[in-house]
Amino acid sequence: MPDDAIPRRSGASVVTPRKATRRPPFPFTAIVGQEEMKRALLIAAVDPSVGGVLAFGDRGTGKSTTVRALAALLPPMTVVAGCPYNCAPDSTSGLCPACTHGDESQVASVPVPVIDLPLGATEDRVLGALDIERALAEGVKAFEPGLLARANRGFLYIDEVNLLEDHLVDVLLDVAASGENVVEREGISIRHPARFVLVGSGNPEEGELRPQLLDRFGLSVEVRTPEDVATRIEVVKRRDAYERDPAGFVASWAKEEAKLRRQIVSARNRLARTSVPDAALDRAARLCLALGTDGLRGELTLMRAARALAAIEGETSVTDQHLRVVAPTALRHRLRRNPLDETASTTRIERALAEVFGG
């Protein structure tokens, strides 16, 4: 790519912290319940190749709080200072054009980004905008990075993902598959890395998700409002304590947070050495056959998620127990729906698990 392809590093392209209040996010370890969602996010944080996380369920169950809490829990990332795409200084591939040109002497440590993609966002805002007039007048490729640039190496969060416009869904499918955002206008093009964990949430009763997008999510979780009194009381107590004194509340959970952070770091280090025995692959294949999931993506995701879970638990080999725990999360959104079969997906998976693994 020629030199004039270097993106503008204008003030507007610098990642700014979320404009909300300065109060620290609610601690991940202080979240009551939501075990399946927390586990899915931890798995995606340890091995982003499992794909994104889809959280379906009731409103006001703290799905967005959980995502922000996870990002705050993760160790800060090292980036090339000033790079609008959060390029990793130690990386040799997947760099933006500017960093590829070797201007990466300065490094900075930044929090893992959680970028909201609002419904109704324009393509320019999501993809970034090429200034065609400036390109024609000055012969430079002036590019204003968008939300996909800011989300690189972090999380892209879409609330009500099932209501996202088709043209944005198409864009996301392309970028999620390639890890790269390509913007083309009138023969001018720019590309930059855009690898992120896609987290979507929504209520399935308000609209179906397109099958191609559904398939892009490695994991899916059902989030419910807790129904037992003791859990509800604990949720309210902690929320109240946090609202009254955010800093004090966060400080009181610092030890727990540090412990889980160390666990994530060692899981990431252990992942490459965590093995999947043939017996586990055999079980995974039988389970997917029994459920009639389409293609092999389900099996691949099941295997990766089980491996990441094993690494999180400090083990070096995948067991039946890991497969059992992650199977509903990895497979429930991949089941073919039979309108005459009233059985919910989760129940079907539990039945197949009992069949394959024994009661």
For Zn ion, the binding residues (CB under 5 A) are 83, 85, 87, 96, 99
CB of 179 to Zn ion, least distance (A): 14
Rg (CA), the chain: 21
| Burial (CB count <10 Å: 0-12, 13-18, 19+), residue 185 | middle
Catalytic (active-site) positions: 297
Q: State the helix-helix crossing angle for 63-73 and 35-46, rounded to 10 degrees.
A: 40
CA distance 161 to 165: 9
> Which lies closer to Zn ion via its Cβ, residue 87 or residue 194?
87
Q: Cβ(7)–Cβ(96) under 8 Å? A: yes
Q: Cβ(164)–Cβ(199) under 8 Å? A: no
Q: Which of 113, 112, 106, 111 is nearest to 81 (CA)?
A: 106
Q: Which of 290, 327, 261, 344 is nearest to 40 (CA)?
A: 327
CA distance 38 to 53: 10
Residue length, the chain?
Answer: 359
Q: CA of 156: how far to CAs of 8, 114, 195, 309, in Å?
A: 23, 6, 9, 22
Quick one: DSSP state of residue 234? Answer: H
**Coil, strand, or helix at residue 247?**
helix
CB of 180 to Zn ion, least distance (A): 13
CB of 177 to Zn ion, least distance (A): 21
Give the chain's end-to-end CA distance (angstroms, integer).
Answer: 59
CB of 83 to Zn ion, least distance (A): 3
CB of 98 to Zn ion, least distance (A): 5
> Which lies closer to Zn ion via its Cβ, residue 94 or residue 218?
94
CB of 96 to Zn ion, least distance (A): 3
